């Protein structure tokens, strides 16, 4: 992975542009990688049209959840869009980091100075999320994927 840092004038902050480069056999994946990014907006239809036009994204509406998935294909960080639930909140993208335990991670973040916005929310058969802001005020979410159910017909070995 090649990373290039870019610094912008306030109110923007530094960010990094990354491009995939071939990895070596000894390079291991980053722990707690980004797993999902989500747009909360006051005009979902307008956002869908905009991103579909600009990036040719394939969108998959999930009306049961008032949510639109961004179909990124297998092996890539996924995304979604939703109408914001808090009218006072800004329209914004929120990244989610994959963790093994949302409750433990949120507790650890709080001890390190985070302000907890959502300590835990079950997302049905998919998993759970938590959201907090770091000490500088930047929001980030955490995602815990639900373990897959055991396959039918498989018996555990007795010892």
In contact, 100 and 72? CB cutoff 8 Å = no
| Biggest distance spanned by C-alpha atoms of the chain | 64
CA–CA dist 106, 83 (Å, integer): 25
Question: In the 8-state DSSP scheme, what is residue 29?
Answer: P
- Give the domains, in start order, of the chain with CATH numbers: 31-145 (3.10.180.10)
Q: Report the pLDDT value the prediction gives residue 156, as an integer from 0 to 100.
A: 52
**pLDDT for 52-68, tens place per residue?**
998 999 999 998 888 99
More confident of the two residues 30 and 141: 141
Q: Which range has the worst mean pLDDT, 110-119, 127-136, 141-150? A: 141-150
**pLDDT for 18-42, tens place per residue?**
334 444 555 667 788 889 999 999 9
Q: What is the DSSP string of 70-121?
A: EE--TTS-EEEEEE-S-TTSPPEEEEEEE-S-HHHHHHHHHHTTPEEEEEEE
CA–CA dist 21, 3 (Å, integer): 10
């Amino acid at each position: 992975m090649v990373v290039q840092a870019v610094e912008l004038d306030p109110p923007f902050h530094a960010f990094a542009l990354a491009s995939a480069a071939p990895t070596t056999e000894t390079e291991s994946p980053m722990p707690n990688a980004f797993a999902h990014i989500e747009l909360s907006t006051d005009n979902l239809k307008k956002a869908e049209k905009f991103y579909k036009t600009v990036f040719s994204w394939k969108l998959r509406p999930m009306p049961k959840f008032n949510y639109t998935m961004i179909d990124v294909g297998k092996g890539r960080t996924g995304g979604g869009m939703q109408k914001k639930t808090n009218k006072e909140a800004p329209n914004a993208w929120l990244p989610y980091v994959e963790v093994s335990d949302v409750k433990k991670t949120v507790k650890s973040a709080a001890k390190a100075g985070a302000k907890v916005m959502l300590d835990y929310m079950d997302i049905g058969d998919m998993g759970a999320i938590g959201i907090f802001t770091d000490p500088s005020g930047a929001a980030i979410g955490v995602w815990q994927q639900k373990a897959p159910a055991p396959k039918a017909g498989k018996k555990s070995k007795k010892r």
